[in-house]
Amino acid sequence: MADQIRTDLDWEDIRVFAALARHGSLSAAARALGVNHATVSRRVKSLERATGARLAERRTDGYVLTPAGTRVLGLAGDMERAASALRRGGGDEQPTGLVRINAPPTLSHGFLIERLARLVQRNPALDIDLAPDVRLVSLERRETDIALRYGRRPQDGHVVAKPLLTVGFGFYGTPALCRRAETGGEPPFVGFDEANAHLPEAVWLARHFPRRRVSLRTSSQVSQALAARAGAGLALLPHFLGRRSAGLRPCPLAHDPPGRELWLIMRAQDRKDVAIRAAADHLTGIFTEERALFTT
């Protein structure tokens, strides 16, 4: 494409290309934008003509950015934030525009949502997009601005990684089921369904209690807490969820589940972005203030 005639840049081409880069396929990008996949393809080709470079390559599992595409995506993210700030009319020091946060589903539903509501209430020009997801999204591809992840220190490229705390886990159940366990009985568990059997809590439970009946399986720990409250069995839950679930109490068993480190990750170049920095500082603050809810 190096020798082709370049055309003027079209903002709509950039917006569509960013969607393709973040979603990985024509159909997914089209659904997100509310257009058809032919429009996505046409817009991306138009941007490639304007930049004089191939930006994405089609693979069997979707589209992958070329080095030129990665550079353009970074600029596209900056343009999106600038356009949002202009539309909202925020001052230079006011958190303005959209900040996307990716976090594990249970943490999102069981803790973050109501606390992020306080952030947007205090900052009327700031919008938050919270995406609960167990898969690891890419900060480099700008699929998110801030990621909260369990595990070891992230090894992503140019990112800032901050340890927040260690999330503790324990068994929770109704008082009746806990008394049954404490007097030598073996009440059943509620746990993850087959599609989520690879998750660390599911693997740990199967390893340490291989013969214990799992009476009810669901896709999330939030629904497991509901099942435990209804008396279906004991649930292995993060403390921040179990301690705040009415009708449940801790139920120590023979094996103590390990905790999981929680990290906040953002792109290094975004450290001075007012909106992203405000969201990151708010997240750091709420975990510091409510540390006792998480720890053993």
Using DSSP's 3-state secondary structure scheme, residue 8 falls into coil
Token pair, residue 128, equals: 């938050």
Same domain, 270 and 124: yes
Instruction: Please report how many Cα atoms fall inside a 13 Å half-sphere around the Cα of residue 210, on the Cβ side.
Output: 1
18 and 96 belong to one structural domain: no
Q: Does residue 252 share a domain with residue 194?
A: yes
Note whether 160 and 275 are same-domain residues.
Answer: yes
Residue entry with tokens 């140019």: 158
**CATH assignment of the domain containing 162:** 3.40.190.10
pLDDT for residue 81: 62
Q: DSSP characters for 11-38?
A: HHHHHHHHHHHHH-SHHHHHHHHTS-HH
Number of domains into which the chain is organized: 3
Same domain, 15 and 70: yes
The verdict on 160 and 216 lying in the same domain is: no
Mean pLDDT of the chain: 87
For residue 105, what are the domain limits? 89-166+261-294
Select, from the ranges 30-44, 64-78, 247-261, the one with the highest average predicted confidence (pLDDT): 247-261
Would residue 1 count as lying in a domain?
Answer: no
How many CA atoms, within 13 angstroms, populate the side-chain half-sphere of residue 104?
22
CATH number at residue 49: 1.10.10.10
Say yes or no: 173 and 161 in one domain. Answer: no
3-state secondary structure (DSSP) of residue 79: helix
Give the pLDDT confidence of 18-58 residue by residue, as tens digits.
888 877 788 888 888 888 989 999 999 999 888 888 988 88
How many angstroms from the chain centroid is the CA of residue 272?
22
Q: Global pTM?
A: 0.74
145 and 104 in a single domain? The answer is: yes
Whether the per-residue pLDDT at 149 is higher than 50: the answer is: yes
Residue 84 domain-assigned (yes or no) = no
Residue 4 lies in a domain: no
